[in-house]
Amino acid sequence: MENFKFSSLLAATPLSEEDKYNLTVIFGALWPIRQLDIIDHWWWYLDRILQIHGKAQAERNRQIQETFTKINQMIDDAYLKDQQRKQQEAEEKSKKDTDMIAAMEYDQKRKIANIRQKEQEMQVAREKLLDPLAFI
């Protein structure tokens, strides 16, 4: 009869089916005197169970919120690192392009200088060829 009484008291609670099942198993393992005590003081025990359940749920919610906060922070950090990496790559590419342009300009100036030097040498050679006294 106590089991029926306990089952009817348990059925009227807002607990989940899993919690009700667990309490039924625990209740069945208790001594009959303890079972009677629980039935007699059911509302006190239910209140205590709900308090503990509420605290556990609040802790679970806090942990979930903390987890989401950490996940968001990790996403933000990853995004910032990605942006910094992209910026660094852009700066390196810009520097590389600037260096390449400077190298091309240097090469062009060197080629122009060589061409001018050859032109001067040719001019000197022409002048020597055209100067009748250059052979004396």
Q: Whole-angstrom Cα distance, residue 62 to residue 65?
A: 5
Q: What is the pLDDT of residue 1?
A: 42
User: Per-residue pLDDT tens for 69-107?
Assistant: 999 999 999 999 999 999 999 999 999 999 999 999 999
Q: What is the pLDDT of residue 55?
A: 96
Q: Residue 27: how many CB atoms within 10 A of its CB?
A: 17
Position 87, amino acid: Q
Q: What is the pLDDT of residue 124?
A: 85
* DSSP structural state of residue 13: S
Q: In the chain, which residues have pLDDT < 50? A: 1
Q: Whole-angstrom Cα distance, residue 2 to residue 36?
A: 7
Name the residue ranges covered by the structural domains of the chain.
41-135
Q: Name all contacts of 21-26 with Cβ < 8 Å and 24+ positions apart.
A: 23/49
DSSP code string of 101-128: HHHHHHHHHHHHHHHHHHHHHHHHHHHH
Phi, psi of 13 (to 5 degrees): -90, 160
